[in-house]
A and B are shown apart, each in its own frame.
Chain A
Amino acid sequence: MAAGLFLLPTLLVFGVFAWWPIARSVQLSLQFTNLVDPAVWVGLDNYANLFADPLLWTTVRNTVWFVVLALLFGYPLPLVMAVVISEVRRLGGLFRVLVYLPVVIPPVVAVLMWKWFYDTEFGLFNQVLTAVGLGPMPWLQSTATAMPSLVLEATWAHAGSTVLIYLAALSSVQTELYEAAEIDGASIWRRLWHVTLPQLRAVLLIMLLLQIIGTFQVFTEPFVLTDGGPEDSTLTILLLIYRYAFINGDFGMATALSVLLAAALALLSAVYLRLTRTWSTT
């Protein structure tokens, strides 16, 4: 009884701000509404319309491509940075601040700053590249380089938080293990491979899952930098949801796609957790 009472405020907050909206989203995905007249049940029509839209598969491909690139570059980089910073004997605090600084900048401000960096005519990157004889690069202006450019900005903007988490995890690794490895003559790489990574395994696995979920929801970068272009090459699932809801006023299709994305991520998470259950504990 007492436990139930203590839980009640949390249940209320989650109920009102999380579970009920989720249930309403599922309901909306089965309705047509103009937000004025009573909503009309349309069965699976919104889902059928969604699968008839050729842009759906474009956005799925683009989002998966973003996730893959973000994992390739954005996943190992914070770990490397955390290990390097933890090894630095002096100015470690300064490096921590420098790494975390991009996270403090408001996301839209940071993205707009990168918009200027990427400008092909007056941008910082091409001015530097041209000065050393390597430029100019098309950056956001080409279907080949637009998505990697978004990943570069996203990695810069979000790596700081992950680095801090890894640093905290690194500080919990028992120093005796490193001392024993050193006495056994292990090099820095062998210490990293045989001591650091196994000790961080649980954190690494959960960070990977969070990153997959987070990157599947990429929105700000393509919204501000490219509007999904060029030629839909950076049109992501969330940007398509935005267009359905706020450009076309079609909340049925927007929530249908939101529900599908949530279901796909939930399934992916369940499979991932099942596959990695033993890895994280042994």
Chain B
Amino acid sequence: MRGQRSNLLACGVVAALVLPAAACAGQTTSDDDGKVKITVAGLFPTTQEKNRQAFLNEVKAFEKANPTVDITPTESKWEAKTFAARLAGGQLETVFLVPLTEPQGLIKRRQIAEITEEMKRLPHVADFDQRALAPATGQDGKVYGLPTSMFALGLIYNRDLFTKAGLDPDSPPKTWEEVRTAAKAISDRTGLPGFAQPTTNNTGGWTLSAITYTYGGRIEKEQDGSFVPAFTEGPTQRALEWLAAMRWQDKSMGTQHLRNAGDLQQDFAAGKIGMMVATPSTYGDHVTKFNGDPKLFGVAALPSAGTLATLTGGSMAVVNPKASAAQREAAVKWIDHYYLRPRYDTTVAAQRAQADASDKVPVGMPRVPFYSAAVSGPIQEVERKNANVPLDNFKPYEQGVAAQQFMTEPPVAAQDLYAALDTALQAVLTRAGADIAAELRKAEEKVQPALERAQQ
């Protein structure tokens, strides 16, 4: 016991050390050569050689087309634990990528730059699908980030277990009641959990909010000019009752419930889970990280309880708040060059798809388009031609998702809401007979101070 020490203290010391440097640690704008210097995250690791080289080639091409800009690429990825210290210490890239759950909090704390005017000068700006811009659009209507990848949550299911349970893998559940029936069949026939729900690291609350939307509810609403929790109003309770019925009546969810979405992905790839809520992009980790069988990976649109809705996941490119006007301009141009062009230029889309395919990166997964159908349609055709994923397995998803409304993250204190819902989920899934309404009221009491703080 004596050796108990926390990394947190070290983090605190590091943060304290770098904070004073923050005031003078802005972005280096230009050197003696007068060029605008920017750093960009997203360089692929050496394990993805084709993509890495393609990225570096794009940097060169961009610099050639924009001779006043000098780019330094880095391999760094979003890490909540190091973000603050890197921002304060002036180490954060000019352009960096964040998960879709983050922009609203970063906007609120003014930790990313507003890029509305720079964005308006991009090609095809009038064709943007507003659903793709929504996650990084502030409550002031201004744009703070641009999409780099976007997927809508769906139902991921094990086609092999469906077959073993006597279910048709080409006709997955469309409603939560059908999910319950299928989960019971899988559990009864195979002894494995038919359905799994994450409950930790805020991933439980995140997926529960998506399920709530399909019950016609919200987890946060605006009332008298401020945002308040809305998950006690009924739909979330019905979603939890549905989960409780599977857990305790049907016994179709197993007994291991203190897990996050990543844990579930791992177990799913190992063939130990029948169904779960996740984005189709988990196919990438399924085959490359967890060595899962591509054939067993099935995806359907998020089932419904009366409302056709889903929540989006993915990443956005955002700009360092300390960037100068010239750097912001160059940064947005780079985001367009590298991340947006393949979504409106068929030649670039084909080149990117071929590089991905040769690096064995999945190509052809259904993604949320960034632009209107007229622009996105030809791109999707190009990607299909170069697809290396089992396209038939994604058909049920594509058929269902087209009709769904895409919801966005709650604008205020989303992570606090998700954390509170995590706790309610844990109560429902680990304690038989938990009073669901009472658990939601407890969650509301817990999250209320956080919402008030966030709106001070």
Contacts and interface: CB of A to CB of B under 8 A. Distances in A.
Interface stretch (A34-42, A80-88, A271-279): A34-42
Contacts of A217: 4-6, 9
Interface stretch (A90-98, A177-185, A238-246): A238-246
B12 A218 contact: no
Interface in A247-277: 247-251, 254-255, 258
Interface stretch (A3-11, A193-201, A229-237): A229-237
Contact of B1 (A141, A214, A225): A214
Contacts of B105: 248-249
Given A161-B2, A247-B80, A36 B322 contact: yes
Nearest to A56: B449
A241 B12 CA distance: 10
A36 B22 contact: yes
Interface string B416-453: 10010011001100110000000000000110011001
A251 B427 CA distance: 30
A55 B446 contact: yes
Contacts of A229: 199-200, 258, 422-423, 426
A214 B453 CA distance: 31
Contacts of B450: 53, 248
B426 A52 contact: no
B16 A54 contact: no
A167 interface: no
A232 B431 contact: no
A225 to B, nearest CB: 8
B88 A35 contact: yes
B427 A248 contact: no
Contact of B8 (A36, A120, A241): A241
Interface stretch (B162-170, B249-257, B294-302): B249-257
Interface residues of A, number: 72
B237 interface: no
A21 B4 contact: no
Given A25-B12, A35-B84, A231-B426, A214 B2 contact: yes
Contacts of B109: 34, 249
Interface in B1-58: 1-9, 11-13, 15-17, 19-20, 22-23
A250 B200 CA distance: 20
A47 interface: no
Contact of A54 (B1, B446, B453): B446
B3 A53 contact: no
Nearest to A255: B12
A202 interface: no
B111 A36 contact: yes
A230 B426 contact: yes
A28 B19 contact: yes
Interface string A136-179: 10101111000000000011011101100100000000000000
B270 to A, nearest CB: 10
B65 to A, nearest CB: 31
B354 interface: no
Interface of A: 16-18, 20-21, 24-25, 28, 33-38, 49, 52-55, 70, 74-75, 103, 119-122, 136, 138, 140-143, 154-155, 157-159, 161-162, 165, 207, 210-211, 214-215, 217-220, 225-232, 238, 241-243, 245-251, 254-255, 258
27 contacts: A21-B16, A33-B19, A34-B109, A35-B111, A36-B110, A53-B450, A54-B446, A141-B255, A141-B430, A161-B3, A211-B4, A214-B5, A215-B4, A217-B5, A219-B8, A226-B200, A226-B258, A229-B258, A230-B258, A230-B426, A230-B427, A230-B431, A238-B8, A245-B84, A246-B83, A249-B105, A251-B84
